[in-house]
Structure 1
Amino acid sequence: MTRPATGLQREWQAFWLALGFLTRLPMLVKVDYSQRLMNQCSVYFPLVGLLLGAIYAGLYTVLSGWWSPLVCVLLVLAFHLWITGAFHEDGMADSADGLGGGYTVARRLEIMKDSRIGTYGAAALMLVLLLKVALLTEVTPVWLGLLLAPAVSRLAPLCLMRWLPYVSDPDTSKSKPVAEGFSGQRLLVAAVGVVIMAVLFDVLLPALIAVVLVAALWGAMLKRSLGGYTGDALGASVVLSELVFLMLLAAA
């Protein structure tokens, strides 16, 4: 008979489940999958982002011995798109298509579920990728932006999940199990973790502005246009938070 996992074991499994949900990295521990564990794993999104950021920063440092900063940033971005399956970028494109091409809530949601990319989505995707590359080459040092942006930006979707209702079809959604039942306590834990990290690297103000600004403005747009959030909208919030954070770092 299998013993039920203890609290610490559940948290350990939740971390690995978050890693498997957000990336292509293999889960190296056995996970007792459940709806509750999927709910719990969201708190580790910023930590997974920090792990990804460490990989990106390390890769950039190695590559910088051979190529220019622009080439290195492009190679790191290509690696990012592969290791994450362009998960959040896909959400950005789908959100742009739905919000740009739909005139009713039902039609917007229908467009966002369509796997094909439209004009709005293609334009948005091209712009955010180009802007991300441009901003990363402006940040000094570059590795700092690569390290911190993935962690800071993954706090924004947790805020949306806590404050807005879910509006997509639970039978076809990948994000519903993650979002349902997300508690304020776990949001607080994730927020404290991001704040501590931002203080250690002296980027607290840019981090707070990026998360609060995107959560407030993007959240208000989603509330008005959709009545809540979808999985695609959560992915878009990560992309937007990254850009705002990098803009503030580059300006500083």
Structure 2
Amino acid sequence: MTVLRREWQAFWLALGFLTRIPMLARIDYSQQLMNQSSLYFPVVGLLLGALYATLYTGLVLVWPPLICLVLVLCFHLWLTGAFHEDGLADSADALGGGYTLEARLRIMKDSRIGTYGTVALIGALGLKVALLASTNLIWLALLVTPCIARLTPLLLMSALPYVTDPDTSKSKPVADGFDRWRLSYAIAFVLAVSVGFNLLHWAVLAVLITAVFWGRTLKRALGGYTGDALGASVIFTELLLLLGFVAQGL
């Protein structure tokens, strides 16, 4: 397999892993290819952001901004299968209701949502809509936050060990043998996007604050990261980014 063909397949694999978008390329699936696909998580995030920004720009011609944001959020949840939101809810349930490592991992695997997860999910979604509605450049916030936020799980994968049942986790193929050299390309891409929109300081702060504090929490509570914890890190980074945008008056 040529290098270009392998990278093309890795991109489509990342797109299929993070979204419901059908993979339009033939994939010669392998463990190595799944590992390589992590490089394209921020790229997929930028594509998602472009869809959200375009949809909002069209909807706002007809309806008030708040209604449009709720509709865009519903579209996001459908398009991604609430992938990261599910991780946030499971992480909140596990860390809030589990008093031992075994209990926390068991709760994370439970498909049912508990009180902690419900509260975290409602709070995160409500805060996200409120912050987006408070920004002056809503289209810009919708465009860049999904891209920048998807760098955080890559940093966590690079810094922490993977902990959970490898036979039942969807993130295991990405976590196993994570290529840290490819991480540098993902970082460079996110930095380029951030510089291009003059958002570098907020991007760096949001990603590093989430990676450090959430990473320390995971290390203490679980001994490493899980797939659900990676999803939660995306939500946390997005919220921190939006808080920064509002504080700066963007």
Partner residue in 2 for 1:77: 73
Alignment counterpart, residue 49 of structure 2, candidates 47, 53, 62: 53
- The 5 Å alignment of 1:118-197 reads 118-197=114-193
Deviations 1:13-39 (A, max 9, x none): 000000000000011110000000000
Paired residues, number: 248
SS, match of residue 31 in structure 1 = coil
Q: Give per-residue Cα distances to partners, 1:76-112, cap 9 Å, x unaligned.
A: 0000000000000000000000000000011000001
**Residue 166 of structure 2 aligns to which amino acid in structure 1?**
P
Q: How far apart are 1:183 and its partner, in Å?
A: 1.8
* Distance in 1 (alpha carbons) for counterparts of 2:176 and 2:160: 11
Percent identity of paired positions between Structure 1 and Structure 2: 64
- Secondary structure (helix, strand or coil) at the match of 1:145 reads helix
Instruction: Tell me the distance in 2 between the aligned counterparts of 1:128 and 1:57.
Output: 20
Q: Paired residue for 2:210?
A: 214
Q: Which amino acid aligns with 2:53?
A: A
Runs of 4+ in 1 over 6 A off after TM superposition: none
- Is 1:21 paired with 2:1? no
Q: Distance in 2 between matches of 1:219 and 1:95?
A: 13
Q: Structure 2 regions of 5+ residues with no counterpart?
A: none
CA distance in 2, matches of 1:134, 1:251: 13
TM-score normalised per structure 1:
0.98
Distance 1:249 1:182 in 2: 32
CA distance in 2, matches of 1:200, 1:140: 18
Corresponding letter in the other structure for 1:201: F
RMSD of aligned residue pairs (Cα, Å) = 0.5
Task: Report the AA paired with residue 7 of structure 1.
Answer: V
When normalised by structure 2's length, the TM-score is 0.99
Give the whole-Å Cα distance in 2 for the aligned partners of 1:191 and 1:161. Answer: 13
